[in-house]
Amino acid sequence: MSTRLRIAIQKSGRLSEKSTQLLADCGIRYDINQRTLLASAEGLPIDILLLRDDDIPQYVEDQVAHLGVVGENVAAEMNKKVNLVKRLGFSKCRMSLAIPKEKEYTGTSFFEGKSIATSYPNILSQYLQQKGVNSDIHQISGSVEIAPNIGLAEGIFDIVSTGGTLISNGLKEVEIVLRSEAVLIANQNLTASQQAIVDELLFRIEAVMGSKGKKYVLLNAPAHQLEAIKDLLPGVKSPTVMPLAQENWVAIHAVMNETEFWEIIQPLKLLGAEDILVMPIEKIIP
């Protein structure tokens, strides 16, 4: 029987849409069976398993899944025997300590002898131990941010993305403990043929991630301005230059970051560039 790899992704939540999109961008197509939550993909010998994110590290350690996409925060909290294969650049957040905004913060010793509510007791206790602080950790499973208001704890340790939830609960962020993004984790005992599929998937993921924010720009310009235009093009190794049917005009093709493009568009026009086309790039294979 030929080798197939099973990859676990979040069933529904903040990771699921981007995880699904990443697999699609890598050419992995599938229809989920809503009863078994398992799908056989085409495009690569891979099966998809939909799980709660908290279960993914354990399933990957046990080889029920060979790969998983999960928040680095969850991987750190579960602390299972899995390999972190790749940071995926989406679902970024941080894990922070926060206290009521009217309290004066004096450094981590503030938390000495105080109670802290969190859903992430392992990451927190490791951090406090490292800082030599003894606190009373209250593990709760959700709505951590209301704990100080209802008198359950004097501080919280939780996920922060914009900070809006903290502010609306009268809290202020005082320490960033961990920065997190979605990561690809793998079982530690893959066979060579399983590893070969992981390597192919990684190759595709890198091609997809490498094209993020990049645009393919085409423009026409008077040939005598070619050198000045080349000087303007940021980070481009060597643009493609082709003669146009119209004499003394050239077409220039280059790949650049979208943000850089906006900075040079006016100078390009001043140099006589015309008919500028900006096109999306799906993949870049270096």
List interacting residues with ligand ATP (CB under 6 A).
Answer: 10, 13-15, 52-54, 71, 73-74, 91, 93, 159, 161, 180
The distance of Cα 157 from the centroid of its chain, to the nearest Å, equals 21
Segment near Zn ion (CB under 5 A); pick from 47-55, 119-127, 159-167, 174-182: 47-55
Dist. CA 96–CA 116, nearest whole Å: 12
Query: How far apart are CB 255 and ligand ATP at their closest, in Å?
Result: 30
Beta bridge partners of 182: 71
Dihedral-angle region of residue 113 (phi above 0 means left; psi in -120 to 50 means alpha; beta otherwise): left
What backbone phi and psi angles, to 5 degrees, belong to 228?
-65, -40
Selected from 47, 54, 200, 206, the binder of Zn ion by CB under 5 A is: 54
| Residue 53 binds to Zn ion (criterion: CB under 5 A) | yes
| Residue 158 binds to Zn ion (criterion: CB under 5 A) | no
Dist. CA 261–CA 257, nearest whole Å: 6
* Segment holding 5, helix H or strand E: strand 5-10
- Given a contact cutoff of 8 angstroms between Cβ atoms, the answer to whether 56 and 35 are in contact is no
Nearer to ligand ATP, 53 or 173 (CB): 53
| Residue 173 binds to Zn ion (criterion: CB under 5 A) | no
Cα-atom radius of gyration of the chain, to the nearest Å?
25
Query: How far apart are CB 27 and Zn ion at their closest, in Å?
Result: 28
Nearer to Zn ion, 93 or 205 (CB): 93
Nearer to Zn ion, 28 or 144 (CB): 144
Nearer to ligand ATP, 159 or 256 (CB): 159
Query: How far apart are CB 52 and Zn ion at their closest, in Å?
Result: 5
Q: H-type helices in the chain, by residue range? A: 16-25, 56-61, 72-78, 121-131, 164-168, 192-210, 226-232, 258-270
- Residue 157 tokens read as 């340790």
Segment near Zn ion (CB under 5 A); pick from 48-56, 100-108, 155-163, 173-181: 48-56
Query: How far apart are CB 65 and ligand ATP at their closest, in Å?
Result: 14
The total of other beta-carbon atoms located within 10 Å of residue 99's CB is: 23
Nearer to ligand ATP, 23 or 217 (CB): 23
Nearer to Zn ion, 73 or 211 (CB): 73
In the list ligand ATP, Zn ion, none, the entry touching 71 (Cβ below 5 to 8 angstroms by class) is ligand ATP
From residue 109, give the alpha-carbon distance in Å to each of 78, 148, 215. 26, 18, 49
Query: How far apart are CB 141 and Zn ion at their closest, in Å?
Result: 9
Query: How far apart are CB 158 and ligand ATP at their closest, in Å?
Result: 9
Residues at the contact surface with Zn ion, assessed by CB under 5 A: 53-54
